[in-house]
Amino acid sequence: MRVRIEVATAATELAWANVLAPGRSLAYDLLAREAPDLGRQFHAQGAGPYGMVPLGHSAPVFPQARRRRGAYALGGRGWVELGSPLFEVTAALAQGIKRRELLDWGGAALRILSVAPVEPPSYASGRGRFRTLTPVVMKGTGREESGQRTTRQAWLLPTDTEFPVFFQRNLRRKAETLGLDPEVSLTEISWIGAKRSFAVGQGAKPGAPVEVELTGPPDTLRAIWSWGLGQANAAGFGWVAA
C-alpha cells in the first residue's frame, strides 16, 4: 500500500541533489514519531534474513511544472508518495503526515492538501508490468567473465549482462523478507530510460528507469509494487508508477 500526499508549492525548481535525498529522512522521522520500534529496527538492522528495509518513496511529481535546464521543475499542484508492503508501516506514515501542514523537501516548501491511501493493482492473472518513475539501482559482482574483479562499485545498468540475474535475486529476497511466495520471475525488460545518478548518502548511485514484466503470485507482485524495484528503495530508487 502507498500513501499519496497531494501538495502545492510556489517553488519553481529543486537542485538535482535534493530530488530524492529528503524522502528517506522524512520517512524515518515519521516512523520515529509514530512507530519508534519499527523505525529503530529498520535503521539498525532492517527486516528478515537479508536486512532489507521494506520502505520506498517517490520523487515529488508536478505534472504541470515548466521544465528548467539544469534543475528539477516544481510548481503548482503535485504529489509525493510513500509506501511499504507492511500495513503497519503505511499506517504510521499516513498518521504522521496527517499531523503536518508542510513538507520541507530540500528547501522547497510543499503545502499538504490531502493524504490518501493507494491500493496496489490486483495482479489476479499473476502477471504485471511495472514501470518506474525513478532509476533502478542494482549492484553486481564487479567481475569480468574471466572472474577477475575490476571494481568494488559494481553498479549495473539494465543493459548489463549481470543485471537480470541480480534483479531476479532481489525480487525473491524481498518476497522471503515478507514471508511471501518467492516464485516471482522477471520475464521481460521492455523499456529502459536515460541513465541518471543521484547522491542520497555516501557517493552517487547510478541507474536507469525501467519497464519490466514480472510473473508470480498476486500477493508477491502487490508487495513489490508497494516497495519498489531493485535496491535502495528507502532512498527513493526504483519507485513504480501508479
Residues β-bridged to residue 102: 111
Q: Which of 54, 2, 60 is nearest to 233 (CA)?
A: 54
What's the distance, CA 79 to chain centroid?
15
Task: Look up residue 13 and give its three cell numbers.
Answer: 525548481
Judged by DSSP in three states, 178 sits in helix
pTM: 0.93
Distance CA 147, CA 120 (A): 41
Tell me the residue type at 133.
L
H helix intervals, the chain: 21-34, 36-44, 87-98, 163-178, 218-227
CA–chain centroid gap for 3, Å, is 13
Neighbour-count burial for 58-93, b at 16+ CB within 10 Å, e otherwise: bbbbbeebeeeeeebbbbeebbbbbbbbbeebbbbb
In order along its 242 residues, the chain shows pLDDT tens digits of 999 999 999 999 999 999 999 999 999 999 999 999 999 999 999 999 999 999 999 999 999 999 888 889 999 999 999 999 999 999 999 999 999 999 999 999 999 999 999 999 999 999 999 999 999 999 987 555 555 545 455 899 999 999 999 999 999 999 999 999 999 999 999 999 999 998 887 778 999 999 999 999 999 999 999 999 999 999 999 999 97
pLDDT of residue 142: 57
Place of cell 492473472: 125
Q: How high is the pLDDT of residue 143?
A: 54
